[in-house]
Every structure is written in structure tokens, then in C-alpha cells.
Amino acid sequence: MTTSTRSSPDRAADRDPAPGAASWARRVPRWAPGVLGAAAVAVGAALGQWYAPALAGAVLGVVAGVRGFGFLRTAVWAVVLGPLAWVPALLPWYLAGAAVTTDRTAAALAGVPDLGVTTLTLTLLVALVQVLVGVWPGRAAHGLLRHAPRRPRQPPDPE
């Protein structure tokens, strides 16, 4: 074994949590908050809270700014928090046949043939747009908070 493959005491100290640091935060998988957010959006959709993807998008925007997510990672989480989160709430409604008349009306208004999934597709696109519209102010809020001017310290009174 060479010296470069052995672990040194300095590297072992880097892996240990700092004194006073929340060690539970290091044990939580990185994807867990996103999945919990998607579950919250799904519950919100089931309860009729149609704006839940926009709120999740705002939170995603702040998290993306803090963690330094790029476009691709933000886009993947936007799909998870929007359309994929709405599917569990919309699928039973769609499979029960409640979408037949709504689907025909939406297809007629959109000028497309009635394919049977028009309403579902348009609804999922609305969820995606809501998340993306929410990401924008979330990223902006992160930028404002990061670059907020700090008050200078006041020197103590000489008295």
C-alpha cells in the first residue's frame, strides 16, 4: 500500500462533523428534500391547492441559488416538483372518466383533435410552468439576500 492510498489523520478529521454541527443534516440524502417537496405538492393537488407547484418552485429557486444548481439540475427538479407531483392526484380522476367532456372541450378550444389525453397533458404543462415561474423569484430572492448591504459596525463610545 502506498502512502497516497492510506488515509491520513488529517483526512479523517475532515470527514468528522465539526463540533456543534448538526450531524443529522449530513446523514439526510441530497434527494430527500426534493421528494418531500414533491409529496407536499401532490397532497396539495389532491386537496385542490393548485398553486402548490409555484410555492415549491420558489423554494427550489432559493435552494438552487444556495447550492449552486445549474440549469439541468434545476430543470430536473422542476419536472419532479411540477408534473410528476401532480400525476398521483390527476390519474384517478382521469381513469374514472371524469376528463372525457373536459377533454373534448379543451381540445376544441385548443384547435387540436380529441386524443383523450389533451386535458391531462395541458394540466401537467401548467404545473411545469408554475414551478418555473416560481423558480424565477426564488433565484432573485437568493441573489438579493446574498448581496444585501450589511450595516457597518459602530465603534464603541469613548466614554
pLDDT category at 93 given cuts 50, 70, 90 is: confident
Q: How many domains does the chain have?
A: 1
**Structural domain includes residue 106:** yes
pLDDT reading at 129 higher than 90: yes
Domain of residue 50, residue span: 32-146
For residue 11, pLDDT over 60 is answered with no
Residue 113 belongs to some domain of the structure: yes
- pLDDT at site 17: 44
Between residues 51 and 18, the one the model is more confident about: 51
- CA–CA separation, 109 and 23 (whole Å): 55
Question: Does 60 reside within a domain?
Answer: yes
pLDDT tier, 2 (very low <50, low <70, confident <90, very high otherwise): low
| Average pLDDT, integer, range 140-150 | 75
Instruction: With respect to residue 153, please indicate whether it lies within any of the assigned structural domains.
Output: no
Q: Is residue 25 in some structural domain?
A: no
Is there a domain that residue 21 lies in? no
On whether residue 3 sits in a domain, the answer given is no
Question: Residue 4: inside a domain, yes or no?
Answer: no
Phi and psi at 98, nearest 5°, equal -70, -15
Tell me the average pLDDT of the chain.
77
Per-residue pLDDT averaged across 115-142, rounded?
85
